[in-house]
Structure 1
Amino acid sequence: MAQPNALLAYPFRPFFILTGLYAMVVVLAWVGFLFGGWPLPLGWSPLQWHSHEMIYGFVTAATAGFLLTAMCNWTGAPPLQGKGLLALVLLWLAGRLAFWFAGWLPGWLVAVVDLAFLPVLAIYAARVLLRYGNKRNLILVAVLAALTVGNLLMHVGFTGGGMQWLKLGQGLGLDIITLMIVVIAGRITPAFTANWLRGQGGPAEQVVKSTKVTGLAMASVVLLAVLALLPLPAWCEALAALFAGGINALRLYQWRGWLAWREPLLWILHLAYGWVVIALLLRGVSGFYPALPETLWQHSLALGGIGTLILGVMSRVAVGHTGRPMQLQPYGRLMYWAVIAATVLRLLAANQWIDYRIGVTLSALGWILAFSLFVVLYAPMLSQPRADNRPG
C-alpha cells in the first residue's frame, strides 16, 4: 500500500498547523475589527463570533489533532490518514469558512456546516475506542458530545436572537474544555514529569498521582458545569468554582512541577494547569465580588490555561511523533514567553490596571507572535516525513 503524503500521515500534522494558523488569524481579525474598523461579514454579534471561533474553531482543531493521535497510542489502532483525514480537515475548514461569511449565508446553512465537525469526530473516536476495547477513554467522546451541545446553543442564540443562549453555549464550551484539560493534562503532565525525573536520576517518586484527588478534581468541574446551567443564586456557582480551584491546586502541587524547572517542555504544562486553577479561583471570587470583571477569569482560562497548554502539547507532540529528540526548538522559549506575556497583559487590561486599548493590542501581538513562532518552527517538520524514516 502506498504511503500517504507526510502531511496526511497522522492527524496531528495538519490539525496542529491549522491550529497555529487559525490562532493568529482569528485574533488579528478581532483586534482589527475592534480598533482598526475592519469590515467583517460576520452576521453575529462580534463578541460572540470571537468567542465562538476561539472555543469551537481554534480549540476543536487542536483537540482533533491530539485526540486522534493519542487514540493510536491508547489502542494500537492505525491512524486516520490519507483521504479520510483530508475529509475531516476539510469539514473543519468548511465550518470556519461558513463563519467568516456568516453575514452572507442563511443561518441554517452556517449551523449545519459548522455543527457537523464535532459529531463526526466523536463518532469516529467512539468506533475506534469500542472496537479496540478502550472504554476508559470514552469520557472524551462524552466531552465531544457536550461540546456539540454548547455549539448548538450558540447557534440557537444566533438564529433566535437570544443572548442567553449565546452565553450558555459559550459558558458550557469553556466548562467542557476545562474538564478536558483536567482529564488530559492530568494524565500526561505527572507521567511526563516522573519519566523525565527518572531519566535524570531525580526523585520521580515525589510526583504523586492520587486517585482520590483526581476523582474529586474531575467531579468538581462537572459539578461546576452543571450548576452554571441552572437558574441558581450566584453564590452556588461561586462556591463550586472555589472548591474546583482548591482541589485542582492540590492536584497541581502533588505533581511537583518545580522539580522540572530545567525542562521547558514540562514546566509549560504545569504553568498551563496553574492558569486553570487561577481561573477557577477568580471565577469563585467574582461570584461574591461582582465588581471583579468576568473577563478576568475567562481570559485566565482562555489565554493562560487553554492557549498555553495547546502550545505546550503541540510543541512536544510535534517532535516526539516525528522521530526527533524530545527537546524544545530554538526560539521555542520565546514562543512560551510570548503567550505568557499575552495572558498577563490581557488580565491587566481586563482589570483596568493598564489602558484597555493598549493592553488588548499588546496582548494580541504576544499571542500572534507565539503561534506564528509555532508555525515557523514546527510546520516544516509536521509536513515532512519522520526524521527516523519510520511510518507516520
Structure 2
Amino acid sequence: MDKPIRLQPRPTEPASPPPVGPAGPILFAAPHRAMFLAGMVQAVLVFLPWTWEMLARSGVVAGPVWPWPPGWVHGLWAVYGIFPFFVFGFLLTAMPRWQGLPDTPGTAARPAWLLLCGGWLLFDGGLLFDLSSLRAGGLLLVLAGWMLALRRLYPVAFKPGAARLHPVSAWAALAAGAAGLLAWTGFALSGEAAFARAGIAVGLWWLLAPLFMVVSHRMIPFFSASALPHYEAVRPDSALVILLAASLIHGTLAAADHAAWAWPSDLAGAMTAFWLSARWQLRRSFAVPLLAMLHLGFLWLGVAWLLGGVNGLLQVSGLGTLGLAPQHALTVGFFASMSLAMVSRVSLGHAGRPLVADALTWRLALGLHAVAGLRVVADLLPGSQTLLLTLSSIGWLAVCVPWAIRLMPVYLQRRADGRPG
C-alpha cells in the first residue's frame, strides 16, 4: 500500500449562489435538496409493495400482481431508483469542491430531477396497469434525466489540470449506469431475460459499488481528519484501484453468468476493504457518532467482498451457495447504511446545523445495520427465509420513514445559519 498522507481540513468554501427568490422554490436552492428528498421518498415507496409481497409470501395477505418477476422489479427500483438520487445530489454538491470550482446552482439540477422523477412515476404506472410501453417510456425518461446530470458533471470531472481518480471514476460509474438503464429498457421492450441480468450486474458492480467506494475513499479520511484530533489520514490511491478492479471483474463475470469465478478478486477486495477500515481507525470514530456511522457503513464492504469470495469458492467447488447474502451485504449493508450516514451529514452541514447525530439518527443507523444483518442471515438460513425477509422489509420501513420525516423538512427550509444554499 502507498505511504500514509496527512490531510489538512479544507479551508472554508466559497459561498453558494444566492438563494432563489419566489420564482424558484427553496427546494432548488442547492442541488442536494431536491435529489435527497426524492431519494427518501423512493426509499419508502419502493419498499411498500415489496413489504406487501413479503407479507403475501408469509400468508398474511393476498399478494400483488407483478408483470415482471418481483425480485427483478425490486432490484431495478433499489439499484436505479433509490440510491442514484442520493449519488447525484451528493456529486452535484461535492464534486465541484473536489475540483476547486464554484458550487453548482441548485436550479441546474432541476431539469434532470424532473425527468428522473417523471420517469419513475411513468414506469410505476406501467407496472400498475401492465403496459410495457409505459414501462419502457418511463425508463427512457429516467435515462434522459441521467444523461443531463452526466452532462452537467462532465466538465467538472474532466477539468484540465485537476485531480482525476475520484471524479473521473465516479463519472465513469454513472456512465456505466446509463448503459444499465439501456439494458433494462431492452428488457422492457423485448422480454429477453439476458437484458435484465445485465442491467442488474451493471447496476451493482459497475455503477453503485464503484460510486460508493470512490466517495468513501475520498470522504471518510477527510471527515475523520476534521473530527478527530491528531488523526493521521490514510488514503492510498492503490487501495481504491484494487477495489475498483475487483468490482469491474465481478460485474463482467456476473453479466456473463459466471460470478462464482470472481472469488479471487472478491477476496482481494475484502482484504483491501478491511485494511482500509483498520487504517481509518474505526474504533476511534465512535467518539463522534455521526462519523462512526460512516465507518460502520464502510465495514460492510469488507463483509460483502468476503461473503462473495466464500460464495464463489463454495460454488466452483460444488459445495453449496450462500444465495444472495453477498449482494445484500453490499446493498443493504454498504449502500444503504452509507447513504443514511452521508446524506445525514451533508444535509445537516448544508443546512447550517450542528454536525451532530441526535439520538434518533444514531438509533436509526443502528437499526439499519440490524436490518442488513437480518437480510443477510435470511439467505444463510433457508428454513427461516420468508420470516426473516418479511422482518427485514418491515424493518427497512421502520428506519426509512422516521429518517425521512426527520430530514425532509430541512430541504424545504432556508439554512439555519442564514447563508445561501
**Normalising by the residue count of structure 2, what TM-score does the alignment of the two structures yield?**
0.85
CA contact (8 A) 1:209 1:254 kept: no
Higher mean alpha-carbon deviation, 146-155 vs 223-232, is at 223-232
Deviations 1:25-56 (A, max 9, x none): 1112112134243535x532221111001001
Match of 2:89 in 1: 65
Deviations 1:166-221 (A, max 9, x none): 112101211121111111101111221122112xxxx412x422333333333333
SS at match of 2:277: helix
Structure 1: how far apart are the matches of 2:73 and 2:296? 28
5 Å-filtered alignment, 1:257-276, equals 257-276=282-301
Deviation at 1:143, TM superposition (A): 1.0
Kindly indicate which of the two structures has a greater share of residues assigned to helix. 1
Match among 264, 271, 278 for residue 239 of structure 1? 264
Cα RMSD (Å) of the superposition?
Answer: 2.2
Structure 2: how far apart are the matches of 1:130 and 1:275? 31
Structure-2 change in CA distance of 1:22 and 1:43 (3 Å): same
Match of 2:216 in 1: 185
CA contact (8 A) 2:304 2:327 kept: yes
CA contact (8 A) 1:214 1:251 kept: no
Structure 2: how far apart are the matches of 1:229 and 1:208? 33
Deviation at 1:130, TM superposition (A): 4.4
Structure-2 change in CA distance of 1:293 and 1:90 (3 Å): same
Higher mean alpha-carbon deviation, 149-158 vs 337-346, is at 149-158
5 Å-filtered alignment, 1:208-287, equals 208-230=234-256, 236-287=261-312
Instruction: Report how many aligned residue pairs link the two structures.
Output: 384
Gaps of 5+ in 1: none
Deviations 1:210-261 (A, max 9, x none): 33333333333333333434576x5531212111112222122211111111
The residue type equivalent to 2:263 in the other structure is A
CA contact (8 A) 2:242 2:268 kept: no
Task: Give 4+ residue runs of structure 1 displaced > 6 Å after superposition.
Answer: none
The residue type equivalent to 1:123 in the other structure is R
The residue type equivalent to 2:152 in the other structure is Y
CA contact (8 A) 2:119 2:142 kept: yes
The residue type equivalent to 1:52 in the other structure is L
Higher mean alpha-carbon deviation, 234-243 vs 115-124, is at 234-243
The residue type equivalent to 1:66 in the other structure is F
Identity of aligned residues (%): 26
Structure-2 change in CA distance of 1:21 and 1:108 (3 Å): closer
5 Å-filtered alignment, 1:12-31, equals 12-31=32-51
Structure-2 change in CA distance of 1:125 and 1:303 (3 Å): same
Structure 2: how far apart are the matches of 1:86 and 1:210? 36
Match of 2:142 in 1: 114
Match of 2:231 in 1: 204
Q: Which of 1 and 2 has higher RCO (CA within 8 Å, sep 6+)?
A: 2
Deviations 1:321-342 (A, max 9, x none): 1111111134111211221111
Structure 2: how far apart are the matches of 1:173 and 1:210? 26
Deviations 1:284-324 (A, max 9, x none): 11112132233101111111000000000011001111111
Match among 10, 24, 36 for residue 30 of structure 2? 10
Structure-2 change in CA distance of 1:92 and 1:38 (3 Å): farther
Match of 2:155 in 1: 127
2:338 corresponds to 1:336 = no
Deviations 1:333-390 (A, max 9, x none): 1211221111111122222266223211211122112211221111122210011111
Match of 1:165 in 2: 195
Structure 1: how far apart are the matches of 2:383 and 2:288? 33
CA contact (8 A) 1:8 1:86 kept: yes
Deviation at 1:118, TM superposition (A): 1.8
SS at match of 1:324: coil
The residue type equivalent to 1:344 in the other structure is G
5 Å-filtered alignment, 1:243-392, equals 243-290=268-315, 291-352=320-381, 355-392=384-421
SS at match of 1:276: helix
Structure-2 change in CA distance of 1:380 and 1:354 (3 Å): farther
Structure 2: how far apart are the matches of 1:20 and 1:165? 28
Structure 2: how far apart are the matches of 1:151 and 1:14? 22
Structure 2: how far apart are the matches of 1:351 and 1:113? 38
Structure 1: how far apart are the matches of 2:267 and 2:294? 22
Structure 1: how far apart are the matches of 2:88 and 2:243? 24
Match among 99, 102, 116 for residue 77 of structure 1? 102
Structure 2: how far apart are the matches of 1:27 and 1:62? 17
The residue type equivalent to 1:39 in the other structure is P
Deviation at 1:157, TM superposition (A): 2.8
2:198 corresponds to 1:174 = no
CA contact (8 A) 2:290 2:362 kept: no
Structure 2: how far apart are the matches of 1:352 and 1:343? 14
Structure 2: how far apart are the matches of 1:183 and 1:332? 24
Match among 142, 150, 155 for residue 185 of structure 2? 155
Structure 1: how far apart are the matches of 2:188 and 2:311? 27
Higher mean alpha-carbon deviation, 257-266 vs 288-297, is at 288-297
Structure-2 change in CA distance of 1:168 and 1:300 (3 Å): same
The residue type equivalent to 1:250 in the other structure is W
Structure 1: how far apart are the matches of 2:297 and 2:400? 16
